[in-house]
Structure 1
Amino acid sequence: MTDADVASTEVLFLDIDRTLSPIADLTAWPEYSAVPSPFGDVFVASALAEALGSLPAHIVYVTDWDDPHIFDAVIGRTDTETGVRGPSDSWWKVDCIDRWLSAHRSVVRFVHADAHLNENRRATLARIAQRHGCEHLAVTPTDGLTPDHLDHIIGFLTGGEPPHMEAP
């Protein structure tokens, strides 16, 4: 995919487990949809899926899943892509984001939503964002994105919130 193919200058880098799909806590949203997977059904909040599908941002799955595109139907998108794991001296996901941003210079703002964003990884994201001249938001859910997380993501990607390092 080239810059011309990316319809937006905003990007959501999205993990699956404990981010898009909670593992144990299905209480944050009123309704969840089951998504059949090779591992059995996984769940995605229906309202979250609808909101992500209508985001004015390109979605790049950054996940260990072999085929995260099984989630495209539930979020109503066909334009997602998957970040590619490459050689890495650190956590592969931040290196993947760095490479992706290098190949897509028009990006001005990005969110990385991942349950595994610790302090060091958030600091690395901040350096990557600075190097690429991007604003960024790091969202670290405990077990699935919540309505508050979604509000922060939407506000940030639509320019309604000032840039900051992390959401609750």
Structure 2
Amino acid sequence: MATSPELDLCVLFVESLLDPVTGLVAVCEGEDGTSVYHNALAVLAFAHEGRRAAAEGVLDCFDRNLRASRDQFQGFPHLWNVRTGLPNGGSVPWEGDAAHLLLALDYYQQIFGERTKYRVLKDGLVALLSQRAALCELVVAEGVAAMYAAMMPYTRTRILSRLRQCFFNCEYISGADCKHNLLHVILAA
């Protein structure tokens, strides 16, 4: 699917950051750290370029971690260790990360037509984001915008209205932040 040699090189570079055991993608060469967000972006790139095995490596890691948890799913911690495939201690979940992972999973399913393999992961993310929408005033504006975009196919108007209300009630440090985040909501609508 690649459209240029430059794009091929970019995707090959991202693939070079994959850990062959855990399936996670490092943030940069020589680093063991990564985030849910960076791996969601990698899934999008891999799916776009038809690299199913690479996309599934990332999704498999999060699916394994969700299935291994005996507690109610509260989201994936933001920071992870690429080599162990486990969250870094002390890292907390970010709603925006969950939203981006759900968007990446949806895109993977759209590209490859696979609807059942990651059902537990998808259901967990949708349920989590639905619950967190009730407390969206505690979420940063970028997270709310990502939640809105990710939840559009799955939710009733009530939850989307709540997310939109939270977004427009957010306080911003500068007008530039407000304009940037408003663009996310407009593009998702």
Q: TM-score, normalised by structure 2?
A: 0.32
Structure with higher Rg: it is 2
**Larger strand percent:** 1
Query: Comparing both chains, which one has the higher relative contact order based on Cα–Cα distances under 8 Å and sequence gaps of 6 or more?
Result: 1
